[in-house]
Structure 1
Amino acid sequence: MTTGPAVPEVGDVLTVTVGPVAHGGFCVARREEDGLVLFVRHTLPGEIVRATVTETGSRFVRADATEVLEASPARVVPPCPFSGPGRCGGCDWQHASLEEQRRLKAQVVQGQLRRLAGLVLDDVACEPVPGDVDGLRWRTRVEFAVTRDDAGERVPGLRLHRSHEVLPVTDCLIADERIARSGVLGAPVPDGVVGVDVVAPGRGEAVVVPLGMPRAPSRDRRRGHRGGPGQPGRDHRRGRREPAPVPLGPVPEVTERVGDHEFTLSARGFWQVHPGAATTFTDQVLAWLDPQPGERALDLYAGVGLFAVPLAERVGLTGSVRAVEADREAAAAAERHLTSYPWARAVAKPTEAALADLVAAGERADVVVLDPPRTGAGRAVVEAVAALSPRAVVYVACDPAALARDVGTAREHGLELVDLRVLDAFPMTHHMECLALLRPVR
Structure 2
Amino acid sequence: MTATYPPGPRLPVAVQSFLYIRYRSELLPKLRRRYGDVFSVRVPPFNDHLVVFSRPEHVKEIFAGDPRDMHAGEANNILGPVMGTHSVLLTDESEHARARKLLMPAFNGTALRGYRDLVAEIAAAEVQGWQPGSTVLTLDRMNALALEVIMRVVFGVTDARTHAALAPLLHRIVTVGPLQYTGLMVPTLQRFWPWRGFHRDLDAIDELLYREIAERRTAADLAQRSDVLSRLLQVGGADERPLSDAELRDQLITLLLAGHETTASALSWALYELAADQRIQRAAVEAVRVEDDKALEAVMKEAMRLHTVIPGAVRKLTRDTTIAGWRLPAGTTVSCSIFLAHRSRDSYPDIAVFRPSRFLDGEVEPNTWLPFGGGVRRCLGAGFSLMEGTTVLREILSRYTLSLPDGAKPERGRVRNITTVPRGKAKIVIAQRGT
Report the TM-score when normalising by structure 2. Answer: 0.27
Q: Higher helix proportion, which one?
A: 2
Q: Higher strand proportion, which one?
A: 1
Structure of larger gyration radius: 1
| Structure having greater relative contact order (Cα 8 Å, sep ≥ 6) | 2
